[in-house]
């Protein structure tokens, strides 16, 4: 079993000429047992401690670190998405990574979709990884009036829709970071975060407008009002 786990080292080895490896303290390399490239082309970003005295996002800290350590002064978030067959008005993710504390209690999700479909013709909701999340998405769409479309497919495909949409709305999740990297206007709903520092570090941060809403300071009704206001800014 151990030999099988260590066999991944061959696929991790990266020796492309003129390239470097930036390691954000990943699980695959934390023990330091598997070299991924020659030492002179390896840069270790201590994401858990770098900038510990600031409230900056991980994106901002990464940019600062890249300028300071790697010598790259114009680093920016980047994501390569496949071509999207459609251009939705709004993309929505209700995924919470199997952490129910990150979602708002019913009927918030149905109310959210009802609001969005009243403002936009084409609202696309990701069904996620299946199971409970997909069931919850289908129930919310049905309760909202069945006007939103449900997306089923890979996350990479949904990311392409996010990049091409006019607005993204979702809980704190990977979809919000895709929207931020692509400059898509976004609304990110944060709930269930254990510390203020986690919210500071993991908030979406990109070139486009971003509206961060917090369940610890805003009621579901206030959050819906704020999202309605965001819709007015992105007609």
Kindly report the length of the chain.
Answer: 235
199-214: pLDDT as tens digits: 999 999 999 999 999 9
Least confident of 40-44, 146-150, 161-165, 194-198: 40-44
In the structure encoding, which two tokens stand for residue 7, read together? 């066999």
Find out if CATH 3.40.640.10 is the number for domain 90-233: no
**DSSP letters of 142-164?**
HHHTS-SEEE-S-HHHHHHHHHH
CB of 56 within 8 A of CB of 64? yes
Kindly report the pTM of this predicted structure: 0.87
3-62: pLDDT as tens digits: 776 676 666 667 778 888 888 777 667 666 677 778 888 888 888 888 888 899 999 999
Cite the residue boundaries of each domain of the chain with CATH code 3.40.50.2000.
90-233
Which residue would you say has higher pLDDT here, 177 or 48? 177
Instruction: Report pLDDT for 158.
Output: 95
Mean pLDDT of 88-102: 93
State how far the Cα of 217 lies from the Cα of 190, in Å rounded to an integer. Answer: 10
In the structure encoding, which two tokens stand for residue 119, read together? 């403002």
Residue 151: left (phi > 0), alpha (psi -120 to 50), or beta?
beta
User: At 149, phi and psi to the nearest 5?
Assistant: -95, 145
């Amino acid at each position: 079993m151990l030999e099988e786990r260590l066999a991944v080292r061959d696929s991790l080895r990266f020796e492309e000429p003129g390239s470097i490896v930036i390691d954000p303290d990943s699980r695959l390399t934390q023990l330091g047992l598997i070299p991924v490239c020659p030492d002179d082309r390896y840069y270790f970003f201590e994401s858990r401690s770098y900038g510990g005295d600031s409230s900056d996002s991980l994106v901002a800290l990464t940019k600062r670190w890249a300028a300071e350590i790697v010598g790259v002064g114009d680093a920016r978030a980047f994501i390569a998405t496949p071509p999207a067959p459609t251009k939705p008005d709004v993309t929505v993710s209700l995924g919470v990574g199997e952490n129910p504390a990150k979602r708002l209690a019913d009927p918030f999700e149905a109310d959210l979709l009802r609001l969005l479909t009243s403002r936009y013709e084409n609202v696309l909701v990701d069904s996620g990884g299946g199971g409970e999340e997909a069931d919850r998405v289908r129930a919310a769409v049905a309760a909202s009036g069945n006007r939103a479309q449900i997306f089923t497919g890979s996350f990479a495909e949904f990311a392409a829709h996010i990049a091409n949409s006019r607005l993204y709305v979702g809980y704190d999740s990977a979809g919000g970071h895709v929207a931020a990297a692509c400059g898509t206007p976004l609304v990110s709903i944060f709930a269930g975060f254990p510390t203020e520092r986690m919210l500071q570090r993991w908030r979406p941060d990109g070139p486009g407008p971003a509206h961060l809403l917090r369940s610890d300071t805003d009621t579901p009704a206030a959050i819906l009002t704020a999202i309605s206001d965001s819709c007015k800014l992105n007609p």
